[in-house]
C-alpha cells in the first residue's frame, strides 16, 4: 500500500513564498501604480508561468507566489511567522468589510495565525522592493518588531 503524499506535506503555506520552490503557485498578479495584488481564482503552478516572464524582469515584480512554509525561514519563530506580525502592525489597505477572494486561505499561515487582519493587508505586501521605501524595508526585516513599526508609522504620520 502506498502512503498519502499529503500526509507528509507542510500544514501551512506562505503567501509571500519563493517563486522557484517546487510546489510554488501564483497567488496573484501585481497591478496598477500601487502594485497591489489581484488574486487569481485558482492556483497556477509557478513552473508554468516563470518562463513567460521576460528576461531581466524579476518574477516577484509582477507576480506574487505562495509556497510551503519552511523551518529555515528567517521569519519563522517556532510555528509562527514573524512577517505577518509585522504586516498586521501596518494600517489596513482594505476596509473592514472587504476581504479578497483567495485560493490559499484554507492553508495560509497568515490566515491561521492572525485571521482576517492579514487579509486586509495582504494585497499590499511586496516580496521585493524596487524603490527606496523605508517602511517596506522595516517590514521585511525579521529583526523589526511590531512596536518599532508602530513608532515609525506614528512618527511619519
As a whole number of Å, the CA-based R_g of the chain is: 16
> Is 6 part of a structural domain of the chain?
no
> Is 54 part of a structural domain of the chain?
yes
- Residue 39, all three cell numbers: 488574486
> Is 17 part of a structural domain of the chain?
yes
Structurally, the chain folds into a number of domains equal to: 2
On whether both 113 and 149 belong to a single domain, the answer is no
Residue 37: give the domain boundaries.
13-126
On whether both 39 and 99 belong to a single domain, the answer is yes
Tens-level pLDDT at each residue, the chain (157 residues):
443 333 444 579 999 999 999 999 999 998 877 778 889 999 999 999 999 999 988 898 889 999 999 888 999 999 999 999 999 988 887 776 778 889 999 999 999 999 999 998 898 887 765 556 677 777 777 788 888 777 777 788 6
> Is 43 part of a structural domain of the chain?
yes
pLDDT, position 36: 82
Contacts with 66 (C-beta within 8 Å, 6 or more apart), sequence order: 13, 14, 15, 16, 17, 24, 25, 26, 27, 43, 104, 108
On whether both 117 and 135 belong to a single domain, the answer is no
> Is 91 part of a structural domain of the chain?
yes
Amino acid at each position: 500500500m502506498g502512503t498519502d503524499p499529503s500526509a507528509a506535506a507542510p500544514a501551512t503555506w506562505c503567501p509571500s513564498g519563493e517563486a522557484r520552490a517546487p510546489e510554488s503557485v501564483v497567488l496573484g498578479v501585481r497591478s496598477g501604480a500601487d502594485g497591489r495584488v489581484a488574486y487569481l481564482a485558482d492556483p497556477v503552478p509557478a513552473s508554468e508561468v516563470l518562463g513567460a516572464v521576460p528576461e531581466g524582469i524579476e518574477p516577484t515584480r509582477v507576480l506574487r507566489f505562495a509556497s510551503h512554509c519552511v523551518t529555515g525561514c528567517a521569519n519563522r519563530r517556532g510555528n509562527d511567522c514573524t512577517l505577518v506580525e509585522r504586516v498586521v502592525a501596518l494600517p489596513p489597505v482594505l476596509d473592514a468589510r472587504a476581504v479578497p477572494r483567495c485560493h490559499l486561505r484554507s492553508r495560509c499561515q497568515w490566515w491561521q495565525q492572525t485571521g482576517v487582519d492579514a487579509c486586509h493587508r495582504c494585497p499590499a505586501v511586496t516580496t521585493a522592493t524596487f524603490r527606496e521605501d523605508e517602511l517596506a524595508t522595516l517590514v521585511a526585516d525579521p529583526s523589526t518588531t511590531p512596536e518599532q513599526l508602530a513608532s515609525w508609522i506614528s512618527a511619519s504620520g
